[in-house]
Amino acid sequence: MNSTHPPQQAVHARVLTGAGWLEGQFHLAKLHAFSEYLAHHGWYPLTDVVMAKVGLLPFLELSQRETLLVAVPPEAIPPPSPLERHDVSATLLLPGGSVDGTLALATSLRLSDFVQHTTGFIHVKKANVKVWADNAALYFEDLLVNPQRLVGVTEPETSK
């Protein structure tokens, strides 16, 4: 075992990139939260990558700026914040698609303010992803969306 690297964990994920969908294994330190890892690294080493139009890639170094969203198993999602929160239904517009789902926001925070000031990937629950080029819709229980790749977001309607 290499003493300069902490113990690693592999997280299997499905990823929508600027080049299309892929599936593979992310590799990160066991003590890192997956969403924090995504937020603070410019490149992600993946292994056992499968891309429909490319085939099997034993290794791929994936750019954060080309990572639109990441579907991960529930155990890769951090526990909810202890702050008082409310669920907000929203549509997140991506280049070439959209995500409809639910976000847990601090009670006093608007969706647009949250998106403008967030520093990490956005956790969307019960997410329906539409990729227009694929003419397909996919459902994911938990999804992490790169806010730097968003074209826009909807504001939930408020009572007047």
pLDDT digits (tens, 9 = 90+) for 34-80: 988 999 999 999 999 999 889 999 999 999 999 999 998 888 887 77
Reply yes or no on whether the pLDDT at 130 is more than 80: yes
Q: Which residues lie across from 12 on neighbouring strands? A: 25
- Which has the closest alpha carbon to 133: 91, 94, 90? 94
Cβ proximity of 34 and 74 under 8 Å: no
Quick one: average pLDDT of 140-147? 96
Same fold, 8-70 and 75-153: yes
**C-alpha to C-alpha distance for 158 and 22, rounded to whole angstroms:** 38
Q: Classify 8-70 by CATH class.
A: mainly beta
Reply yes or no on whether the pLDDT at 106 is more than 50: yes
Beta strand segments in 77-148, E: 85-94, 97-106, 122-131, 136-145
Domain made up of 75-153: CATH architecture: Roll (2.30)
Question: Cβ of 43: how many Cβ atoms within 10 Å?
Answer: 11
pLDDT for 152 equals: 95
Quick one: average pLDDT of 7-34? 92
Segments in the chain forming alpha helices (H): 34-40, 111-117
Spell out the domain ranges in the chain.
8-70, 75-153
Reply yes or no on whether the pLDDT at 91 is more than 90: yes
Instruction: Report the predicted TM-score, pTM, of the whole model to 2 decimal places.
Output: 0.90
pLDDT for 160 equals: 45
